[in-house]
Amino acid sequence: MTGSENTAPESRSARVLREIASGGVALTVLSVILAFVIGGILIAATDPTVQQTAGYFFARPTDMLSAVWQSVSGAYASLFRGGVYDFTAPDFQGGIVSLLSSLNYATPLIAAGLGIAIGFRTGVFNIGGQGQMLIGATAAGWVGFALPLPAGIHLIVAIIAGLLGGMVWAGIVGLLKARTGAHEVIVTIMMNYIALYLLQFLLHTPVLRAPGSQNPQTPAEKPTALLFSVFGPNYDLSFGFVLVVAATIGCWWLLSRSSLGFKLRAVGENPRAARVAGINVNRTIVYAMALSGLLVGLAGVYQVLGQNTTGFGSDIDAGIGFNAITVTLLGRSRPWGVFAAGIVFGILQAGSNTMQVAQGVDIDIVTVIQSIIVLFIAAPPLVRAIFRLPAPGSRPRAARSKKVAEAK
């Protein structure tokens, strides 16, 4: 215990993270299903027709039942239509637009989620996604609209600038933690504010503000710096998605095949044991934060060069810095888990627009569904109790499948 400044809270947070990560795939899927069930109840309860027909339920119950069915099935059908495949579209090209749009929504969530996951696996909570994204986006965006560079090189320079921006912003936190023991949760949150107000300030100066405009927005990115569409203009899937697939493979390799990844995981599992084993814990934490920031910076790059290419304001992070934490939890801090979770959230986001427009479902319902998913994932015993799943590792029965447990 002596000499190590924050071993106790570290090991506790690491244990919580490990417990969250140790749940099975079944638990995750069940959490999502439960969240959709509760979401359905909320959709029905907030539907004006349901409320109206509930008033005379006993006089004519079919009215309310059909209203419930219509609101819930309509809402989830439109979620599918907007997020996966638009079955009302005349051709495949029109139908698949929904899925492509979901993948584009998912791209920054996956990138930032991978970053957060690397932090989690090392036992550090990176809550500073917002700040790292803003700095990454500002760096990449500035290169994108201000520097006249030839096509190809321009994009590469802009991406590198964005990655470095995020890496430096998170690296500062890693250094502070390693050198002074400053808790990363506090510091990353504070760095969020610094990044936000720095960007807001710059948006009122000629550095970032579009010339001839009074609005706090940058000029549009130059076409040479844009993340192009992989399959051409008719099937709009950004090259950014290819980048996050590569990043996912990279993270998987890093965490499960490389020696640095082993060190990261060792520190995450038990920093004291890692230190005894000869791993430089402080240096590993700095590496983890820097890598984390680099990946979050990629999300920022995508935001300015892929998603909002017509100029950005101080809301360019789009809440992804925080949503990515949810994605990471859902993905249980595993690279491919984060990838899948990011796509689920991308579908929810793209589909919620259609759900809102076509069915008039309140926009907050989707946020509620997302939050409930997290709630269930963070509380595995609750989900186990609901579905009568055995606790992992408690008895030999734990190996038995869910079917057996349910059949009892």
Partner 1 sequence: MSITSKRVVLGGLAVASAVALLAGCASAPKSGTTTAKSSYLPCVIGDTGGFTDHSFNQLALDGVVKAANKIGSSYKKLQAKSANDYASGITSLIGEKCNIIAAPGFNFIASVKAAATANPKTNFAMIDDNSINLPNVKDIVFETDEAAFLGGYAAASYSKSGVVATWGGAEYPSVTIYMDGIADGIKYYNQQKGKNVKLLGWDVATQKGTFIGNFTDQNQAKTVTQNFLDQKADVVIPVAGSLYQGAAAAITGSNSSAVLEGVDADLYNTDPTYKSLFLLSILKKVDQASTDVVEAAASSKTFDNTTYVGTLKNGGVGISDFHDYASKVDPGLAGELATIKAGIIDGSIKVESPATFNK
Judged by beta carbon, residue 108 or residue 162, the one nearer partner 1 is 108
Question: Does 357 engage in binding with partner 1 (CB under 8 A)?
Answer: yes
Question: Does 218 engage in binding with partner 1 (CB under 8 A)?
Answer: no
* 335/113 Cα distance (integer angstroms): 9
* From 9, 181, 223, 319, residue interacting with partner 1 (rule: CB under 8 A): 319
Question: Does 1 engage in binding with partner 1 (CB under 8 A)?
Answer: no
- Phi/psi for 165 (5° steps) reads -55, -50
Q: Which two tokens stand for residue 318?
A: 């789009």
- Find the shortest distance in angstroms from Cβ 113 to partner 1: 15
- Find the shortest distance in angstroms from Cβ 237 to partner 1: 14
Judged by beta carbon, residue 7 or residue 49, the one nearer partner 1 is 49
DSSP for 299-343 reads HHHHIIIII-TT---TTTTTTHHHHHHHHHHHTTT-HHHHHHHHH
Contact 133, 166 (CB under 8 A): yes
- Find the shortest distance in angstroms from Cβ 185 to partner 1: 21
Where does this chain touch partner 1 (CB under 8 A) — which range of 31-39, 152-160, 180-188, 346-354?
346-354
* 261/285 Cα distance (integer angstroms): 12
Question: Does 101 engage in binding with partner 1 (CB under 8 A)?
Answer: yes
Site string for partner 1, 43-82 (x = CB under 8 A): -----------xxxxxxx--xx-----------------x
Contact 159, 305 (CB under 8 A): yes
How many secondary structure helices (H) and strands (E) does the chain include?
17, 0
Judged by beta carbon, residue 108 or residue 271, the one nearer partner 1 is 108
* 3 state DSSP class of 238: strand
Contact 70, 311 (CB under 8 A): no
- Find the shortest distance in angstroms from Cβ 379 to partner 1: 15
Token look-up 């920054």 returns: 108
Q: Which two tokens stand for residue 72?
A: 């819930």
Helix axis angle, 239-257 relative to 335-359, nearest 10°? 150
Question: Does 339 engage in binding with partner 1 (CB under 8 A)?
Answer: no
- Phi-psi label, residue 311: left if phi above 0, alpha if psi -120 to 50, beta otherwise: left
* 211/218 Cα distance (integer angstroms): 8
* From 24, 95, 360, 390, residue interacting with partner 1 (rule: CB under 8 A): 360
- Find the shortest distance in angstroms from Cβ 89 to partner 1: 9
- Find the shortest distance in angstroms from Cβ 58 to partner 1: 5
The residue type at 125: F
* 186/268 Cα distance (integer angstroms): 19
- Find the shortest distance in angstroms from Cβ 342 to partner 1: 14
Residues within window 142-201 making contact with partner 1, judged by CB under 8 A: 196-197, 200
Q: 238 pairs with which residues across the strands?
A: 229
Size of the site for partner 1 (CB under 8 A): 49
Question: Does 399 engage in binding with partner 1 (CB under 8 A)?
Answer: no
Contact 122, 266 (CB under 8 A): no
Where does this chain touch partner 1 (CB under 8 A) — which range of 19-27, 34-42, 278-286, 305-313?
305-313
Q: Which two tokens stand for residue 158?
A: 């802009």
Where does this chain touch partner 1 (CB under 8 A) — which range of 5-13, 176-184, 215-223, 374-382?
215-223
Judged by beta carbon, residue 13 or residue 78, the one nearer partner 1 is 78
Where does this chain touch partner 1 (CB under 8 A) — which range of 65-73, 180-188, 345-353, 392-400?
345-353
Question: Does 310 engage in binding with partner 1 (CB under 8 A)?
Answer: yes
Cα dihedral: 350, 155, 261, 375 (round 10) = -20
* From 192, 270, 307, 333, residue interacting with partner 1 (rule: CB under 8 A): 307
Query: Rule CB under 8 A: which residues touch partner 1?
Result: 54-60, 63-64, 82, 86, 101, 105, 108, 196-197, 200, 204, 213-217, 220, 303, 307-308, 310-313, 315-320, 349-350, 352-354, 356-358, 360, 363, 366-367
